[in-house]
Amino acid sequence: GAGVSQSPSNKVTEKGKDVELRCDPISGHTALYWYRQSLGQGLEFLIYFQGNSAPDKSGLPSDRFSAERTGGSVSTLTIQRTQQEDSAVYLCASSRQGGRYEQYFGPGTRLTVT
């Protein structure tokens, strides 16, 4: 079946602009995660959605970052007033539920802030 999809694959933006990144999870997966991967570093957790529960926002680095998940499916990560340190690959993952179930990752969105 179809995997996790993300769009755009690449985004170049000017410092101070807002950007929206989209994630389409695997159908039927109730858990959705956003991570950030910076050059030479591991994955940094950003936010987690599980069904209709309140999202776990504990990983968001600042209030410029926000995310929503509509209808328990598609998710959008928004970064307002982008800074150069926001440049990274943003990865979305989904799983059947949280916890013991493996996460399936999308190809990522490479964000470059100039």
Parallel, antiparallel, or unpaired: how do β-strands 65-69 and 31-37 relate? unpaired
Within positions 48 to 67, which residues make up the interface with another protein, using CB under 8 A? 48, 50, 56, 58-59
Tell how strand 19-24 and strand 5-7 pair up: antiparallel
Shortest Å distance, C-beta 11 to another protein: 15
Residue 25 interacts with another protein (CB under 8 A): yes or no: no
Q: Is 45 in the site for another protein (CB under 8 A)?
A: yes
To another protein, the closest distance from the beta carbon of 74 in angstroms equals 17
Residue identified by tokens 């994955």 is: 43
Residue 91 in contact with another protein, rule: CB under 8 A = yes
Closest to another protein by CB, 14 vs 41, is 41
Q: Is the dihedral of CA 25, 9, 64, 92 positive or negative?
A: positive
Q: Residues with Cβ < 8 Å from 85, sequence gap 6 or more?
A: 113
Q: Hunting for tokens 């999870």 — which residue is that?
A: 25
Is residue 16 left, alpha or beta, with left meaning phi > 0 and alpha meaning psi from -120 to 50?
left
Nearer to another protein by Cβ, of 50 and 75: the residue is 50
- In the complex, the residues that contact another protein under the rule CB under 8 A are 4, 31, 33, 35, 40-43, 45, 48, 50, 56, 58-59, 91, 93, 98-100, 102-108
